[in-house]
Amino acid sequence: MKKGLQVLLSASLIIGLLAGCGSGAQTAPASSSAGGSSTASAGTKTIRIAAVDPQVPLDMQQNTYSIIMRLTDNVAESLISSQKDGSLAPLLLDQMPTLFEDKLTYSFTLKSVKFHDGTTLASSDVKYSLERLVKEEKMASLMAYVAGYDAMESGKATELSGIKVVDDTHFTITLSKPYSPFLSVLSTPYAAIYPKAACEAAGDTWGLKTLIGTGPFKLDSYTAGSGAEFSKFSDYHGGAPKIDKISYKFIEDPNTQVLEYQKGNVDFVDLDNSLYPVYSSNAALKDQIHSFQQAGGYYFNFNVKTIKDPKVREAISLAIDRKSICDSVLHGTASVPTSFIPASLTGHDSSAQAFAYDPAKAKSLLASAGYASGYNLRVTVNTKSNLGKSIATAFQQEAKAAGINVTVEPVDSAAWSDMKKNGGMDCSVSNWYVDYNDPDSMLYPVSDNRADLVSSFWHNAQFKQLMEDGVKTDDSAARQKIYVQAENILTRQDFAIAPLINETKFYLLNPKVTGFEINSDNRMDFSKADIG
Amino acid sequence: MVSYISKRIVQTAVVLLGISLVTFLLLQVVPGDPVSLMLDRRADPATIASVRHQLGLDVSLPQQYLNFVNGVIHMDLGNSYFTKEPVLFALNRAFHVTLKLASLSFVFAVVIGISCGMIAALYRGKALDSSLMTLSIVGVSAPSFWIAIILQIIFGLKLNLLPISGFDTPAAYILPSIALGTRYAGSIARITRTSMLDVIKQDYIRTARAKGAKRKAVIIHHAMKNAMIPIITLVGTELGNMLTGSMLIEKVFSIPGIGKLAVDSMSNRDLPLLEGTVMYIALVFVAVNLLVDISYAFIDPRIRYGKGAA
């Protein structure tokens, strides 16, 4: 009796737990009911999104996290928008700006556009917003080529002298030197245009309690740790949106996010790469998985002060079995890069071969560099990046074949940032995605003519000159040649970095939602979205 | 008793001061500059210097610490570097959430733990005892986040009885409270059983039974009361743990409590928020320990505090 009861209780416990374990991947989604309820219950069309809590003000001028961009993209707009194919189009402008013959001054004409508070967009708002970008400091150097930037940054001036308001709808921006990506820069979320009066009145509450823009949706509420609510802006200059509300629910755990999607409580979730194999084999969910390629990828960033010999850096690059990492760590969802500059950007070398895996050659290079008995390499990873940790761990095994002994050093975000700046890393698993669709945005983190060059400490005079030449000209053919050459120096001559993988990003979307897009800048557009 | 409590409150202030100093010093040692983190990838030295000045980080370390202590004395823990929100507001908001979660988990853990422990002790050596102790081992050893996921899948997704995440409705409190409380229920059940078995063997229990007292009355009025000291010690510590948040449970269920606040502030090197969170956690532990010590005197009349106490 005693044993019988014990066995019965134990068995029921184990069966219960196993039932719980096994149900996750195979449970059919309840999204049909969810989609229906979100559309019809209160007569309003609401799209519900699971997202990570940004924890900070919803203002891309203060914080650069892409999770904030996802929230603010449909509230605040920039003068220019980048299209799915990477081209630029006027958004708050009548037409694309005119560049004067001096190649320095752009002339702008604003469309008749209303802010959410009912005020009309004016040139003074543009001047205020772009100057605020400098004052907020985080992404100030995006305005580095605008005349008067140095004076403002050093505190000698309170305005950017290069921005001149002509009247309420006309203004000019003069650069201090030619900078062909400038219009692309104006398409970034950092260059969002805010109403001056409302933004100044809100002070520190901007992005927390108040966020006013010209976008298709208005911020109704933002509750830290809980979520954010947006409602449609009926006076939107691009036509009133079809959906009434966007509701963000902050859920930290990627697993919980997907469970909420399966239950039908949200219509959109990002699908972590680690979860992709589970859900791509789920018959009920696999057709609801969508993907996109963000321009950028993962790479090894070498500190050339500690890994001085290019032969060693080349050997490390040759010791990476990128294909294996794509297949094992990323379950075949990533691709081996042929170039650091992605295919969608000018400067991508379509004739380049994929970065090779050749441990024998790596070993021989290390021997010629004086490391015949093996090389000890410390690879630092940010604990925030699960993928970074997995890549480093996979490489730790692969590198043994080339005689490289890898120590993986996980550090948290704060230490990561500090170590990068102070040269505390020898080699790190980094990732980079463009802020604007231009090769300049891809290469500037490794260019030492920018203030933020900190983690690689690499200098190559020819590369630097090419980077300067590349932004001076707007001739596409010339730029293509310049950036192909620059990248070749970076990745195949000096081996300052070693590209690793180009990942594919996945998300689950309720099939009832239509007209929704994520472009290669990772920007979500709900202006044309609808729920069937 | 009053003098004892006064003495403990003074000790508490000293402990908090010590903890704040140690936290402050440790934060200077660990790598991670909050300003670099705030300014991210485009920060130049001039900008960094300007922001350091704004945040008061350009004065000497002793001066920085004194500024912090002065703020604490005036009930001003400063503002978060990132949200600009006063630290006290953030702590207050997270505390209310954590208090709710901790209270429910605590009730769950105490009711289930003590009941199971007592039943196991009373049925010592029988199937029920073995089964309950097996369950208690599972409760103690299974990671709480794993229990949380299992509960989410079974009760949230498969049976569709309870919310999977969030903490905004009474129904949403149930799964996180059980997930957090299970581990504590397991350990409370084990200590209750052991303590009860120790007491049941005592002479005075046999005497009470020999005098004709009913079994139920003996257990409730004699055995249970005397077995409570070790249980209360454990329960007090565990209440302290619950009130200081559970990062994993809060993450899995998306609950904006103290655990999440502490981890976020640490990873952001949000120094005022981090100092405030550490001070809160220390204060909770010290307060709970004080309450536990005081409760001994009410449970066991032989325990006395103050002058002449043994």
Q: Is residue A454 part of a domain?
A: yes
Q: Which residue has the higher pLDDT, A66 or B131?
A: B131
Distances B4 to B8, B104, B234, B297 between C-alpha atoms, Å: 6, 31, 22, 12
Domain check: are A318 and A282 in the same one? no
Residue B266's pLDDT band (boundaries 50, 70, 90)? confident
**ipTM value for the complex:** 0.77
- What is the tens place of the pLDDT at every residue in B54-113? 777 788 888 888 888 888 888 888 888 877 788 999 999 898 999 999 999 999 999 999
CB contact under 8 A, B130 and A2: yes
Write out the two tokens for A349. Answer: 């070398």
* Contact of B270 with B82, CB cutoff 8 Å: yes
Burial class (CB in 10 A: 0-12, 13-18, 19+), B294: middle
Instruction: Tell me what the pLDDT averaged over chain A comes to.
Output: 88
Exposed e or buried b per residue across B141-180, where buried means at least 16 C-beta atoms within 10 angstroms of its C-beta: eeebbebbbbbbbbbbbbeeebbbbbbeeeebbbbbbbbb
Domain with residue A260: its CATH number is 3.40.190.10
Q: Is residue A465 part of a domain?
A: yes
Min distance A488 CA to chain B CA atoms (Å)? 24
Domain check: are A221 and A189 in the same one? no
Closest CA to B46 of A143, A130, A451, A415: A451
**CB of B217 within 8 Å of any CB in chain A?**
no
Residue A454's pLDDT band (boundaries 50, 70, 90)? low
Q: Which residue of A has its CA nearest to B164?
A: A260
- Judging contacts by C-beta atoms under 8 Å, the chain B residues touching residue A252 are 250-252, 254, 260
Domain check: are A316 and A385 in the same one? yes
Domain check: are A155 and A262 in the same one? no
**CB of B37 within 8 Å of any CB in chain A?**
yes
Residue A120's pLDDT band (boundaries 50, 70, 90)? very high
Task: Tell me what percent of the residues of chain B surpass a pLDDT of 90.
Answer: 28
Domain check: are A274 and A346 in the same one? no
Q: How many other C-beta atoms can be found within 10 angstroms of the C-beta atom of residue A386?
A: 15
The DSSP annotation for A76-110 comes to ---SEEE-TTS-EEESSBSSSPEEPTTSSEEEEEB
Q: Is residue A86 part of a domain?
A: yes
Confidence (pLDDT) at B178: 95
Among candidate residues A196, A220, A255, the one where a domain is terminated:
A196
- Cα distance between residue A387 and residue A381, in whole Å: 9
CB contact under 8 A, A5 and B131: yes
Domain check: are A499 and A382 in the same one? yes
E strands within B152-218?
Answer: none
* Contact of A238 with A111, CB cutoff 8 Å: no
**CB of B277 within 8 Å of any CB in chain A?**
no
Q: Is pLDDT at A424 greater than 70 in this prediction?
A: yes
**CB of B165 within 8 Å of any CB in chain A?**
yes
Domain check: are A219 and A327 in the same one? no
Q: Which residue has the higher pLDDT, B38 or A322?
A: A322
Among candidate residues A196, A231, A264, the one where a domain is terminated:
A196
**CB of B29 within 8 Å of any CB in chain A?**
no
Confidence (pLDDT) at B237: 82
Nearest to B154 among A13, A19, A253 (CB): A19
Closest CA to B150 of A284, A31, A16, A50: A16
CB contact under 8 A, A411 and B252: no
Residue A425's pLDDT band (boundaries 50, 70, 90)? very high
> How far, in whole angstroms, is CA A258 from its chain's centroid?
21
Task: Tell me what percent of the residues of chain A surpass a pLDDT of 90.
Answer: 67
Mean pLDDT of A521-532: 88
Among candidate residues A139, A164, A196, the one where a domain is terminated:
A196
Q: Is residue A34 part of a domain?
A: no
Domain check: are A105 and A217 in the same one? no
Q: Is residue A466 part of a domain?
A: yes
Quote the domain boundaries for residue A128. Answer: 76-196
* Lowest-confidence region among A55-64, A365-374, B299-308: B299-308
Q: Is residue A41 part of a domain?
A: no
- Judging contacts by C-beta atoms under 8 Å, the chain B residues touching residue A255 are 149, 252
Residue B301's pLDDT band (boundaries 50, 70, 90)? low
- Judging contacts by C-beta atoms under 8 Å, the chain B residues touching residue A64 are 40-41
Write out the two tokens for B15. Answer: 């402990």
Mean pLDDT of A334-351: 92
Q: Is residue A39 part of a domain?
A: no
* Lowest-confidence region among A17-26, A256-265, A404-413, B131-140: A17-26
| Domain total in chain A | 3
Closest CA to A381 of A404, A350, A413: A413
Task: Tell me what percent of the residues of chain B surpass a pLDDT of 70.
Answer: 93
Confidence (pLDDT) at B40: 61
Burial class (CB in 10 A: 0-12, 13-18, 19+), B42: buried
Confidence (pLDDT) at A450: 60
**CB of B309 within 8 Å of any CB in chain A?**
no
* Contact of A385 with A297, CB cutoff 8 Å: no
Min distance A138 CA to chain B CA atoms (Å)? 5
Confidence (pLDDT) at A221: 95
Q: Which residue of A has its CA nearest to B138?
A: A13
Domain check: are A497 and A375 in the same one? yes
Domain check: are A172 and A219 in the same one? no
Give me the amino acid identity at A72.
Answer: T
- Cα distance between residue B93 and residue A208, in whole Å: 15
Q: Which residue of B has its CA nearest to A264?
A: B157
* Lowest-confidence region among A380-394, A483-497, B281-295: B281-295
The DSSP annotation for A24-61 comes to HHHSPP-HHHHHHHHHHTTS--EEEEEE----S-S-TT
Domain check: are A358 and A379 in the same one? yes
**CB of B105 within 8 Å of any CB in chain A?**
no
What size, in residues, is chain A? 532
For CA atoms A19, A24, A30, A32, give the dihedral sign.
negative
Q: Is residue A521 part of a domain?
A: yes
Structure pTM? Answer: 0.82
Domain check: are A190 and A263 in the same one? no
Domain with residue A407: its CATH number is 3.10.105.10
Distances B43 to A352, A421, A453, B50, B179 between C-alpha atoms, Å: 34, 10, 10, 11, 43
- What is the tens place of the pLDDT at every residue in B200-244? 888 888 888 888 888 888 887 788 878 888 888 888 888 888 887
Closest CA to A161 of A131, A184, A193: A131
Give residues with Cβ within 8 angstroms of A412, minimum separation 6: A382, A383, A384, B32, B266, B267
